[in-house]
Structure 1
Amino acid sequence: MTYFLSDLSIYPIKSIKGIPLKSSQVSAEGLWGDRRYMIIKPNGEFITGREYPTLTLIKSEWIKRGIWKLSHPSHPNFIEINSDDLSTEHQDVLIWDDTLRAQKAKENINTWFSDVLNESVCLVHFSEQSKRFTSRRPESPVAFADGYPFLLTTRASLEELNTTCTQAIAMTQFRPNLVIQGNSAFEEDSWKRIRIGDVEFENVKPCIRCIFTTLDPETAERLPKGEPLKTLGKFRLLDNKGITFGINMIALNSGEIHVNDKVEVLEYKTPETYTDRRKK
């Protein structure tokens, strides 16, 4: 059976709409440009689409390296962000249990985001002064992603979910970086190491899913009945940990990957055990 990379996406600012790519550079910290920016409250606490769903409607467009054009349907103007033209000021920011230094954006950019969210916020950049590492692989760096630099899902697993889910679920609700096609449903649970193109990745842990997945990516409204979490909870509940979909990955080397690259499973592991309580 042939596996291949069907989709490749980045999210330049944590929680905003993703950008589909044809190819990307891979480093230990993630895909180039992925989650290198984040929005914070004045006290440094990070915010996401979980509490501010309208963030997911912010659309980004790559102008050229380091420059992004942002727009929001409720805001009359767009804004450009240039990583070479930010404030020289840094401040401590808190993302989950990690405190790190991050570079602040200039006031006109902060004003734009504050207008979109109707409260005072600040955009920060993961700069050379910013240091953060994953919990299970403390030698592996990560930028502003929740916990690990790569999230992988598969088409077959989404199709299996949609066989019993009461709502049609789109892959974009899970916000993956890498989507694989050609495997059987949830076969990715058993992958320990894979190669995409010339880059090797390691499966660190299943991805625990939260209320963020219940947002419609086109409207930022919650789906009825808490889907897809309600259905996933019937067959993807990992005891004492939570509901899972997809796997958190780290890269074992750098390189470039492309959509349609062959995916090779280099090493397998014993998958987690789930009980399927669905009525089919």
Structure 2
Amino acid sequence: MSDAATPELRRLTTYPVKSLDPQDHDSVAVEHGTLAGDREYAMVAKPPDADHDPTTASVGGQGEYVNGKRTAAVHRLRSSLDREAGVLTLREEGGDETRTFSLDDPDALNDYLSDYFDEPVSVRHEPRGGYPDDREFDGPTLVSTATLREVASWFDMTLDSARRRFRANLEVGGVPAFWEDRLFADHGEAVAFRIGDVELLGCNPCRRCVVPSRDPDTGEETPGFRETFLRERERTLPEWVDSDRFEGNFRLMVNTRISESEWGQRLSVGDGVELLGTRQL
């Protein structure tokens, strides 16, 4: 890391309903290894009375997440969640009608989503750690502002569009592009770092899927996204990236883990970021 770099937490974002819109915060508590309220709800393609757990069965006859990997229709659904009131507000992109649903009695919400996606969909709730994309390294994901700005320039998109495509929880400023590639090591190892009072372990460069290739409002595919990304990622890959976890260039962002000893602490915008060194997992 350059001596001139002064890393600090610039943005703090949760995704209350997995695959739907983000919610920005000034400060968030760490609960059950991740940010409180992050991906606390998930949409599942299964009748509401089905008895299954999408965290352990997400394909085949056992149920399947309704997310951007499965359907581009999720991108056209605007959402806002009031966690304290237990109320979810939805609107279709380009439409004027706003619908509000109680999460305590989700039958009406399940009916609405089933009509919207044209298949049986139910909303599931997991308050203890939510439904993370990476079940092994289930802490908040991290990227730098400079990285998002650099990637946005490859596609002539806005910084906000890049944020909404890659969907990171933690955004670090005051550092150069791809600084976060310092936050992982080889298999069996992690890079410890501290944000404010919270110690995290950087574990893995995040493997990307089809979601970043789509417009976050319309779901429209960006032509040649993967090919351009792979070419530019190789061109700009820092020379010091030397990890057997970096398997292919379609990776961006870092998956983390937070030990139970850190639960109950808070992360806040403006917190400083300090690298602590490599640890054994």
With the shorter chain as reference, the TM-score category is: 0.7 to 0.9
Counterparts of residues 1-280 of structure 1 (less than 5 Å): 1-42=5-46, 43-65=62-84, 67-73=86-92, 74=95, 76-82=97-103, 85-86=104-105, 106-126=106-126, 142-147=129-134, 148-163=138-153, 165-168=154-157, 170-191=162-183, 192-226=191-225, 229-236=226-233, 240-241=247-248, 243-252=250-259, 253-254=262-263, 255-267=265-277
Q: CA separation in 2, counterparts of 1:205 and 1:34?
A: 19
Look up the equivalent residue of 1:53 and give its one-letter code. Answer: A
SS at match of 1:5: strand
Do 2:77 and 2:91's aligned partners in 1 also have CA atoms closer than 8 Å?
Answer: yes
Q: Aligned pair in 2 of structure 1 residues 240, 251: CA closer, same or farther (>3 Å)? A: closer
Which segments of structure 1 move beyond 4 Å, counting only runs of 4 or more? 237-242
Indicate conservation of the 8 Å contact 1:209/1:242, yes or no: no
Q: How many equivalent residue pairs?
A: 232
Equivalent AA in structure 2 for residue 168 of structure 1: M
- 2:79/2:91 contact within 8 Å kept: no
Q: Higher strand proportion, which one?
A: 1
SS at match of 2:168: coil
Letter matched to residue 8 of structure 2:
F
In the alignment, the residues of structure 2 paired with residue 75 and residue 146 of structure 1 have an alpha-carbon distance, to the nearest angstrom, of 31
Query: Structure 1 residue 66: deviation in Å?
Result: 5.5
Taking the aligned partners of 1:178 and 1:239, their CA distance within structure 2 comes to 20
What RMSD in Å do the two structures reach over aligned CA positions? 2.3
| Unpaired stretches in structure 2, ≥5 consecutive residues | 47-61, 184-190, 235-244
Greater relative contact order (Cα 8 A, min sep 6): structure 1 or 2?
2
Per-residue CA distance 1:164-192 (angstroms, 9 max, x = gap):
x1432522210000000111221211221
SS of equivalent to 2:29: strand
| Separation of aligned partners in 2, 1:33 and 1:161 | 28
Stretches of structure 1 lacking an aligned partner (at least 5 in a row): 87-105, 129-141, 270-280
> Which structure: greater helix fraction?
2
Please give the TM-score of this superposition, normalised by the length of structure 1.
0.74
Asked if the contact 1:143/1:149 (under 8 Å) is kept, the reply is: no
CA deviation string 1:16-41 (max 9, x = no partner) = 01111111111233111111111111
Query: In percent, how many aligned pairs have the same letter?
Result: 27
Measure the CA separation in 1 of the matches of 2:276 and 2:66: 37
Assess if the C-alpha contact under 8 Å between 2:81 and 2:89 holds in 1: no
Equivalent pair of 2:16/2:41 in contact (CA under 8 Å): yes
SS of the residue 2:204 aligns to: strand
Shift of 1:239: 6.5
Equivalent position amino acid for 1:233 in 2: L
Question: Structure 1 residues 77, 159: CA separation in 2 closer, same or farther (over 3 Å shift)?
Answer: closer
**Deviation at residue 124 of structure 1 after TM alignment:** 1.0
Residues 58, 70 of structure 1: 8 Å contact kept? no
Partner deviation per Cα, 1:213-270 (whole Å, 9 max, x = no partner) = 11111222222222xx32321254676555110100112312111112111122258x
2:66 alignment partner, SS class? coil
1:53-86 deviation digits (Å, cap 9, x = unpaired): 222333333435251322122583413233xx25
Contact 1:16-1:55 within 8 A present in 2 as well: yes
The whole-number CA distance in structure 1 between the counterparts of 2:102 and 2:37 is: 12
